[in-house]
Amino acid sequence: MNSLVRSSVDTSELRQIDAAARGDPAARHALFERYREVAYRVALRITGRHEDALDVVQDGFIRAFEGLAEFQREAGFQTWLLRIVSNRALDLVRARRVRLAVPLDADDADGRATVPADERVPRPDAALEQSELAARLRAAIETLPPDQRAVFALYATGELSYGQIAEALGIPIGTVMSRLFHARRRLYERLPDLAAEWGVQAPPPK
């Protein structure tokens, strides 16, 4: 399966990767600056916590830099990094074995996801609606089982192909599609108003 999709890797990045493998701090910093945001978003969506996401990103880059000698260049640094980050974030979530910001039993009585109490920064009015929507979605994402959450976190970057998601998680593409299907189904169960607004038939709550 992993051989099905190979990212196109530009030569300048390959040079950076080679330099980074030799320990060049500038090359490593350039890779860090290029991929830190996407790594953070994936880590945040899996762990649900800002500080945990930063720790995961930090650990992920350290492991990536230390493992550059084994890195298969044709796979693409981003996919490889996100694989490390996803695995690390999943390890963290599984170790916790608890729901994060919004536990299932803390939702509204009708099972709808609510906004987490620890939203970090107040937003201008113009962005409030989008912010609240994103917050409700994040709360719903945190109720997903870890495997589905990891697939959705990578999917939600909007920067990867289905093959890259499969490669990053080390699972067949059919499993990606299945987990994604169940993740979306569960999200719409918890956000029926959004499903109605978007013309998606929400499955009945289990």
Interface residues with another protein (CB under 8 A) are 1, 4-5, 21, 23, 25, 28-29, 32, 36-37, 40-41, 45, 50, 54, 57-58, 61-62, 65-66, 68, 119-121, 123, 127, 130-131, 133-134, 137-138, 141, 154-158, 160-166, 172-175, 177-178, 181-182, 184-185, 187-188, 194, 198, 200-203
19 vs 145: CA distance, rounded Å: 39
Least distance in Å: CB of 150 to another protein?
Answer: 13
Comparing CB distances to another protein, the nearer of 90 and 188 is 188
Contact criterion met (CB below 8 Å) for 162 and 173: yes
Give the CA count within 13 Å in the CB-facing half-sphere of 41: 14
Dist. CA 56–CA 46, nearest whole Å? 10
Give 72 or 161: the residue with its C-beta nearer to another protein.
161
In angstroms, what is the minimal distance from the CB of 16 to another protein? 15
CB of 204 to another protein, least distance (A): 10
Q: Token pair for residue 1?
A: 């399966």
Q: How far is the CB of 108 from another protein (least distance, A)?
A: 19
- The residue assigned the tokens 């979530």 is 93
| Shortest distance, position 90 Cβ to another protein, whole Å | 19
Nearer to another protein, 10 or 37 (CB): 37
Burial 97-132 (b: 16+ CB within 10 A, else e): eebbbbeeeebeeeebbebbeeeeeeeeeeeeeebe
